[in-house]
Amino acid sequence: ARTSKLSSKNSGKLEGAGKSIEDAVQRKMEQFYEGPGGPPLRILPIGGLGEIGMNCMLVGHYDRYIMIDAGVMFP
């Protein structure tokens, strides 16, 4: 049986690429809007925004959140 080994140099590059993809997804999922005189407003999509039956998001400020469910039908 033949096994291939990745050098530590190459494995670091692969790990870094995966990390940057995870970071991009995280940035897309959590958006922060900082007002002129206050802390940021956090918007967290839950479910598939734009998909039928799955429109739900959390809008929060510090430790207080409001859930917005814009679904029209229950499957």
Q: What is the mean pLDDT of residues 37-53?
A: 70
Cα angle at 26 between 30 and 32, to 5 degrees? 25
- Tell me what percent of the chain is helix, strand and coil, each rounded to the nearest 5: 30, 30, 40
Q: Is residue 14's pLDDT more than 50? A: no
Give this prediction's pTM. 0.39
Query: 34: which DSSP letter?
Result: E
| Per-chain mean pLDDT for the chain | 64
Q: Is residue 11's pLDDT more than 50? A: no
Q: How far is CA 59 from CA 24, 25, 65, 74, in A?
A: 20, 18, 5, 22
pLDDT digits (tens, 9 = 90+) for 15-42: 555 555 566 555 555 555 556 776 678 8
Residue of 56 and 73 predicted with greater confidence: 56
